[in-house]
Amino acid sequence: MPMDYAEYLQHDATALAQRVARRDVAASELLELALAHNAAVHGRINAVCRLLEPQARARLDSATGMGGALA
């Protein structure tokens, strides 16, 4: 079952990375959740100064096999 935003909020970045590593959730799914929530609330809170969606998608596409603490 896909992750919803309420579940997403229950995890910090390290826990989300661990879930990606275990293949419980796809990194692309997390990106879509974050982008959708930003789109839903940005008009009210104006918290994102510069949305880097193209760069995030490019990093996601090139991330296969990347290591590191949050990979």
| 31 falls within a domain | yes
| 37 falls within a domain | yes
Q: What angle do CA 31, 33, 36 make, to 5 degrees?
A: 105
Q: pTM of the predicted model, to two decimals?
A: 0.78
| 51 falls within a domain | yes
What's the total number of domains in the chain?
Answer: 1
Give the model confidence (pLDDT) of 29-47 as tens digits: 999 999 999 999 988 888 8
| 23 falls within a domain | yes
The confidence score (pLDDT) of residue 15 equals 96
| 69 falls within a domain | no
| 50 falls within a domain | yes
In terms of Cα–Cα distance, which of 33, 34, 27, 37 is closest to 58?
Answer: 27
Cβ proximity of 13 and 34 under 8 Å: no
Domain span including residue 15: 5-61
The confidence score (pLDDT) of residue 68 equals 55
